[in-house]
Structure 1
Amino acid sequence: MQLDLFASLLDEEPTPPSAPTPQPPRREAPVPRPDTRRTASTPTPLLHATPHPMPAGGVANPSERAFSLGEAVANSWHKNHGGTRIEIPIGIVASLALIGQKDKDGPDLKSQILAQDDRELVEMYQQLWCAHWMHRPDLVERARILHEWANEDKHTRHELYMVRVITKTALDKGLFDLTGHADPYLRSQADVLSPTLTLMRSTGAMQGLGEFHTPPPVTDMMAWSTLADLSADIGDGGKALEPGQSILDPAAGTGGMIRSAAQNIRRRGLDPADFEWAMVDIDPIAAACAAVNAMVWGLGPRVTVACDDSLANRNAVEDAWQQARAAFEHRDRMLGQAKMIAAVRQTQQLLEQAVGAAA
């Protein structure tokens, strides 16, 4: 069963083997953190780029909607005794966040998805990740913890039931209203994975990990302050905000600070895909969410996500870039083998047809 949700991916050719792999961000990358020396009396710096009109069509209070969605998913999981595998509900929300409808006047995706039986629903998630692996094997590999459950040989009846429950909950709470837009600015108005991850974990688990996600209004302010400072440095011989620069968050969580920076860049009439992005987090699920968000938010081809301790390993980003390069090379080998097998089968069919015609 092919749903309309795959149309935008299946219409595209996978990135060819000769395409450049992600480049490691430069060490001099500006880290999106506020300048603590700024005081209330400091004049507001002028922005370098001309403000760009943003598209209409977003939802009101997107961060509140995202929190409400995460709360509903967590409540549904625990109420129905989902168990300790929180990567399943988080992975379902992540999977659905990757879905976008190519034709806004096309069939209703929510109805299409929920019309499938339980096993078809799991297969849909498998196919979705396979389709994205063709284009971004590095990010899909980093997000493995969020989707490897779908590829397991067997699922219990209760697991299949929970997959349906969480899928319906996320869709009923309007996930597509937040992430289903064609325009990346509208898709990036909220981080739907941060509250889902936060609310799925107990308070004790969060404290044990030392994991505290910065609220969206704070990340917006911090990103604006940092990027505005960069633009203001022009008059002092500093470097203007311009494509090709690197932006790094060494304690990224699910990428909230990066989302705010990307949205700020868009508002200046620039494209985040023209910049280099790097995110590091020690928590595997948070790093996986950051990788998914990089695709949802349209950060472009030059994104590196590391699951590492940035304090203990100064080369965390470079190490992650090497892993990303290996993922692209593995994909290219798999595609090459698949094309060779297809060519052999086609040749066999032609020979059989020729033999049949001669007989």
Structure 2
Amino acid sequence: MTQLDLFADVDATNEPPRPKTTAKIPATFASSKPATVPPTPAIKPAATPAPAASVRALRPRLPKNPHEVALRLAEAVSSAWHTQHGGTAIEVPIGIVAALALIRPKDPKGPDLARQILNQDDDQLIKMYREIWAGHWIQRPDLIDRARILHEWTNDDEHDKHRLYVTRAVTQAALRNGIFDLTGHDDPYFRAATDVLSPVMALTRSAGAQKGLGEYHTPAHVGEMIGHVVMAEAGFITRDPKPGDHIHDPACGSGGLLRAAAQGLRERGGDPASMRWSGVDIDPIAAACTAVNAIVWGLGPRVTVACADTLTRPDAVEEAMAEARAVIEHRDQLFGRAAVIGAVRKAQRLFDQVVAAA
């Protein structure tokens, strides 16, 4: 029994317009979602009890302190990468953790997914990562394209033995230090309990590189407090959020403040998927992490992530929205051509059968 569910974390309400045809996913993966996208649900009225009570009842499913678990995971991943001389291509370990965050077991009571992953040989492991990214590109080409820097390496024609060895070491470190305890939940509230990518990004990158980028990571607890301030500034503390309300972070990093705002919204009975979200960061790896986190955290279909300097490109979000529309259109065209090719081949097979029977 295979435990990997490629799209398990992508709620149907969180998906952009999808093509009329669907791709054939390899047998090792499965999609549990319909091909159609239902209307975005409205924000729950104020009278509806917030999910906080049920969340408290289910909290034992999560680690006691998910931020500490995320930090230990990042330390283990960084140690595996650097002690095994992974090099300067930190997009590789970050991309591995990001890919693992995008999946979860089909059945929590089924076989051990972590063990199944580690039982694969090196070529199968790289293929698995490639298929995770490809499968999610079908669902969210706009966000996965923004995260390109984290997965381009999986498409290399050849991977040297050392790269394969380090990939396995990082994978093992992430799995053994609780990646699925943090991101393997059905409920996006639990998946958004912490940011697993921010500490990985901080610890794998050198201090000099961080300083050069002007990159300073906000501690999770501080981010949550600021998130409440963002909610207050937007008026969401004194009134109910309305579908389509916009939350924007002009220096988003890996999206920590967006996560905090989304969690605060959920705790008040709101649905992040009905909101508009946008973030801009000058660092392509940070912007890529925000794009992945938007899927993991269930922020919904109205998410725009730009990679730009907010000070010099004030229209970065609008430009990113245009890029997103273009890549979605490209996805749809690919599926359209695939459907035509499939129909032609089917017709040719039928013709050949008729000729053979004549």
TM-score of the two chains, using structure 2 as the length reference: 0.86
Query: For 1:12, which of 33, 51, 56 is the aligned residue?
Result: 33
Match of 1:283 in 2: 283
Match of 2:42 in 1: none
Matched residue pairs, number? 325
CA contact (8 A) 2:91 2:149 kept: yes
Match of 1:32 in 2: none
Whole-angstrom CA distance in 2 between matches of 1:143 and 1:73: 19
Residue range with higher mean Cα deviation, 223-232 or 162-171: 223-232
| Superposed CA offset, 1:123-143 (max 9, x none) | 001111111011100001000
Whole-angstrom CA distance in 2 between matches of 1:202 and 1:231: 38
Whole-angstrom CA distance in 2 between matches of 1:350 and 1:91: 44
Match of 2:357 in 1: 357
Whole-angstrom CA distance in 2 between matches of 1:206 and 1:347: 57
Whole-angstrom CA distance in 2 between matches of 1:220 and 1:315: 27
Whole-angstrom CA distance in 1 between matches of 2:47 and 2:224: 18
CA contact (8 A) 2:189 2:266 kept: yes
CA contact (8 A) 1:253 1:286 kept: yes
Q: Which structure 2 residues correspond to residues 122-137 of structure 1 after superposition, within 5 A? A: 122-137=126-141
CA contact (8 A) 2:251 2:279 kept: yes
TM-score of the two chains, using structure 1 as the length reference: 0.86
Q: Which structure 2 residues correspond to residues 213-232 of structure 1 after superposition, within 5 A? A: 213-229=217-233, 230-232=235-237
- The alignment status of 1:159 with 2:148, answered yes or no, reads no
Which is greater in Rg? Answer: 1
Match of 2:17 in 1: none
Structure 1 gap segments, 5+ residues each? 21-46, 235-239
Match of 2:246 in 1: 246
Whole-angstrom CA distance in 2 between matches of 1:167 and 1:178: 15
Match of 2:298 in 1: 298
1:100 positional shift: 1.4
Structure 1 residue runs of 4 or more that deviate by more than 2 Å after TM superposition: 1-16, 47-55, 231-234, 240-243
| Superposed CA offset, 1:137-196 (max 9, x none) | 000100000000000001100001111110011000010000011110000001000000
AA aligned to 1:10 is S
Whole-angstrom CA distance in 1 between matches of 2:199 and 2:355: 63
Match of 1:40 in 2: none
| Superposed CA offset, 1:234-291 (max 9, x none) | 5xxxxx4222100000000000000000000000111100100001000000000000
1:346 positional shift: 0.9
1:352 positional shift: 1.3
Structure 2 gap segments, 5+ residues each? 9-29, 40-45
AA aligned to 1:178 is L
Match of 2:62 in 1: 58
Whole-angstrom CA distance in 2 between matches of 1:308 and 1:84: 22
1:310 positional shift: 0.8
CA contact (8 A) 1:213 1:253 kept: yes
1:5 positional shift: 2.9
AA aligned to 1:12 is K
Match of 1:42 in 2: none
Query: For 2:87, which of 65, 80, 83 is the aligned residue?
Result: 83
1:232 positional shift: 5.0
User: Which secondary structure state, in structure 2, belongs to the residue aligned with residue 10 of structure 1?
Assistant: coil
Whole-angstrom CA distance in 2 between matches of 1:233 and 1:126: 45
User: Which secondary structure state, in structure 2, belongs to the residue aligned with residue 314 of structure 1?
Assistant: coil
- The alignment status of 1:193 with 2:197, answered yes or no, reads yes
User: Which secondary structure state, in structure 2, belongs to the residue aligned with residue 280 of structure 1?
Assistant: strand
